[in-house]
Every structure is written in structure tokens, then in C-alpha cells.
Structure 1
């Protein structure tokens, strides 16, 4: 009987607002409550659950492991409630905002060309797209879907594979005319090897020569935070860059870029995944619509 008397969905909604807005005061304003009432509600919720959900300090609130798990489940339950009401009123139609995090390379070469078709299919969906190669915390950034490159680490996130692509070293013809075409690993010593300004799964260029594997560091004079920036540097003749094949395929066909040392490449491929928070729960229809679309039209190769 006690459970029926407790407005659990209301508690969840206030708790989610506290987490997403970063404090009791902004959550109170959004919920039209006083900060004191919000604080007491969270305290009652923690007492009923028998677990601390938030660590409080004078400057910030931080989710505990139990709070993080409760937040993930609460957001899914609230999304299900929204979907249930939406289905009752307008049918099971994708409606609402989807926040997407992706690299500039994937956005420019795969997602952006496909977006008109998605928007035509789902007129009730709006997209908020953030472009960065950095791995973001989906909960902290309030992100629905992130497209990530590289091996997937063990986590509470769910992933849908979007394919995989080869990695190739390229340079502009103008650069190769000035500095020569490298034919061996030793030749790379005199070249400007452009790289990323953050740690990657393999921090260098793995090449195999005479039966021996060498990881050549990308220690050129310029580093950048995203693959598309690296591509533009290569196109400008600044140096050599190792890039995903789908981002430079048209440049190679148009002879704007030239692949080098393909004979020493190890045939490795970089996987792409769409990741989201959704383990064990039903996704909001707007998020599911985007994921289903990416599975068909957001592939890389």
C-alpha cells in the first residue's frame, strides 16, 4: 500500500532534473518547487531506497554508483511514460529532440548526406548534433546517441556496429613533390607526420616491413583534435596523415590525395559504433528511429 501512496514517477522526475540541471535550485525552478522541498524529496527517496544517490558538496553534486544506476533506469522509465502518452494521443510516432555526439569526419562524410532522408521520414524529430572526436560521458552531456570509432570498452552503454574502415596514410601531390614519396619506414624519418592531439588506442602508425612490425609515432609539427582537421591539413600539403578510408576515398579518386606505403600496411580496420544508454530498457521512439536509420544508412566502409 505504501508504494501506491508514493508518487514514484514524480520523485524520479525531480531526481533526474537535479542530475541534469546540476543542483537543487535549478531543479526547483524547473519543477516549480522550493530548493528545500527538492532537498527533502531527494532525502526521502534515498531513505526509502536505503542508498545514497548523490554526494553533496558546497560546489557540486556528484552521482554515486547507485545514483548513476538509478538515473539510467529512471530516465528510461520516464521516457516510457512519455512514449505511452504519445502513443495514446498520436500513435507510436517519433517525436522530440535527439542529442547526437559524433566526429566531424563521420558527420561530414556519412551523417550529413543522409540527414535529409531521415528528417523527411521523421518530421516530428529535431536533432542537436555536437561534433567532437573526444569521448564524452553520455549522462553528463545529456547525449542520446554517440558515434564512436575504435574498439569498444566494457561499459554500461549499448552499441550498434556501423561497420569498419581501413586506415591509410595519404599526402597531397604538392607535398610529395617537395619532400619525396616515402618507400620504407626509414624514409618516414624525414617527413612531417601529422597526428592527433589526444591519446588513441594505437598511438602511432603500425607498419610491417621485412617481417617486423613497427609503430611509427606521429610526431609531426602539427597536431589536431579531429580527423577532419587532419584531412584538411593533408589536403593543404602540410604533411602525411593516416586517415579513415571513407573520409579520403573521394580525394584519392580525384587525385587530391595520394596513398603511400600501402604495401607496408597491416590491413587493420577501425570499427564504428552508435552507442547509447539503454541496457535492459525500452528506448524512446525518437532515439530508436535514429538508431534504426543509422543501422541502414549510416554505415562506414
Structure 2
């Protein structure tokens, strides 16, 4: 493992709070993270972290090294984009952070055409369920839904997601179709495994907004797992139409309680750092996906 990779993993471990979380966030084996930090400590001949049972905190030497490590990451990101020195040249590495479901169902099948259009550009897709401001840490573009925190970044509204309560026809055949929101309490429901407004199943009933405390038999950190368990005829889920729009269209999933649906839509934003100095690679991605997604139903 090269030194730059060790430094990158060190920064990830600092941001995540412990080695296991860093491994999970970046799809690495926990042993890979531990070994990278150990190699770095051996190279520097200092201890960088205090290792606790639930969290790892930086030592004094670790805090000093963090500043240098982040400088290295920023310098490497700048070096990788040196091909953009010509104003119209679209080249280098473009880093995009978005929801896994959005990447899979809205970006993945459109990405080859984008890469064919810009052969000197490579794209790195990073995924996470919730928006985290990574634009100061080497990420160029973020695509996320919901209310964004105040910042100096530029946010372009790509569209609006509607959250749909749904189940498979087979599940409804076996267990019956809920006719009003309170009927959900009698059904097997599934939700996200982290605190999120997506877990609030609210409806309009008798001119009032009612939040149904559905009893979730299992929960998941990824929306695709919720989709999979619904498609397997195991229960009821609530997911965004940019995720399950095709399943609804082909009848694999059936919308439920539509007459009680709140007329609320969640905005989906494309976020980048600077309006005045947008690099050619970022502008190319913005223009391409704005056009391609403008015709999407959601």
C-alpha cells in the first residue's frame, strides 16, 4: 500500500471517528484500515490514535499530522486536475457524492454516454444515504434530496421526489390491501435504519395530517435493500419515485393509500462549490445531467 493511500485512509478514519466506520463508509475491510494506520504510525514512529472500544481519538501528534495530511490530499487533488489548465479542456478526475439509489437508478445507465463524450475525463462516484458537506475535501459535486444546511455552495434543483408507500401485488394478495393509514399498523413494514424524515409516514386523513407509527420488523441503511425486500413480497416500504418509478410503471410495486397522499415533494439538488470558478469538468457534468434528467417524470 502506497503512502498516499495510507494518508487518505488516515483522513477517512479521522472524519469517521473510528476504523470500523471508515472501512464501512469507503467499502474497505476493517483490517485494511487498521493496517494502513499501523504502517503510517511505524513510518512516522509516533502513535496517531488512542484506540477506544467505541471511538478512536487523535493523539497530540495525530492532531498535528492531520493538518499536513489534509494538505497532501488537497495537493494531490490539484495535481490530478492539472489537465484542466486549458480553459476548454475537460480532463482529470471528477468526484461525485450522492445517494446509492440515485447513483444506481438515475446516473449509472447515463454515465457511459457522458464518458464517451469526454474521453479525457474519469469519474469517481461516492455514495452515502445522507448529505455530508464534502466539497472542501476533494468532492466536486453532490446530489442529494431534502432540506440543505445553509452554506456558500451553489445548489441547482434537479427535480422533486415524491415518496410513495408501496408493496408488491403478491404481498397484497396474501395479506390484503390497507384501505386507510391506520391499517398499516397491521402490516409488516420496513424502514431506514438511521434517523431520517424519510422514516415518517405521514398522510392527510379527515383534513388532518396524521403520522402513522408503523412497526418496522427490520430496517436497512440502503434504500435498495428496502426495494429488494418489497419486490420479494415480504412487506410494505416507503421510497422515492426516482428510485422505484420503473417498478411502479411495470406493476412490480403498487402504490398504496394514494388518496391520503400529502401534496409534498422533496427537492433533489445538485450542489457544487463555486459559481464563479466552475472548472470545465464540473460544468460538463452539470450541463449533461441537467439535460438528461430534465425529462424524468420525477
Same fold (TM over 0.5): yes
User: Which residue number in structure 2 is paired with residue 149 of structure 1?
Assistant: 145
The 10-residue stretch of structure 1 (138-147 or 102-111) with the greater mean CA deviation from structure 2: 138-147
User: Which residue number in structure 2 is paired with residue 60 of structure 1?
Assistant: 63
User: Which residue number in structure 1 is paired with residue 174 of structure 2?
Assistant: 178
Aligned residues: 244
Q: How does 1:34-183 map to 2 (within 5 A)?
A: 57-61=60-64, 82=82, 86-87=85-86, 92-139=88-135, 141-183=137-179
Alpha-carbon deviation of 1:61? Answer: 4.9
User: Aligned match of 1:257 in 243, 253, 260?
Assistant: 253
In structure 1, the gaps of 5 or more residues are 1-17, 24-34, 36-54, 65-70
Aligned residue for 1:58, secondary structure, equals helix
Length-normalised TM-score, structure 1 = 0.70
- Cα separation, 2, equivalents of 1:223 and 1:202: 12
Counterpart check, 1:224 vs 2:220: yes
In structure 2, the gaps of 5 or more residues are 1-6, 15-43, 45-57
- Cα separation, 2, equivalents of 1:61 and 1:189: 53
Length-normalised TM-score, structure 2 = 0.71
Q: Deviations over 1:45-69 (max 9, x none)?
A: xxxxxxxxxx9932235999xxxxx
Which is bigger in relative contact order (C-alpha 8 A, separation at least 6)?
1
Q: CA 1:202 to 1:242, structure 2 compared with 1: closer, same or farther past 3 Å? A: closer
Q: CA 1:21 to 1:248, structure 2 compared with 1: closer, same or farther past 3 Å? A: closer
Q: How does 1:182-193 map to 2 (within 5 A)?
A: 182-193=178-189
Coordinate RMSD, CA, aligned: 3.4
Q: Deviations over 1:251-278 (max 9, x none)?
A: 1222211111000001211211111222
> Which one has the largest radius of gyration?
1
Alpha-carbon deviation of 1:235? Answer: 0.7
- Cα separation, 2, equivalents of 1:254 and 1:244: 16
Q: CA 1:61 to 1:149, structure 2 compared with 1: closer, same or farther past 3 Å? A: farther
- Cα separation, 2, equivalents of 1:269 and 1:95: 36
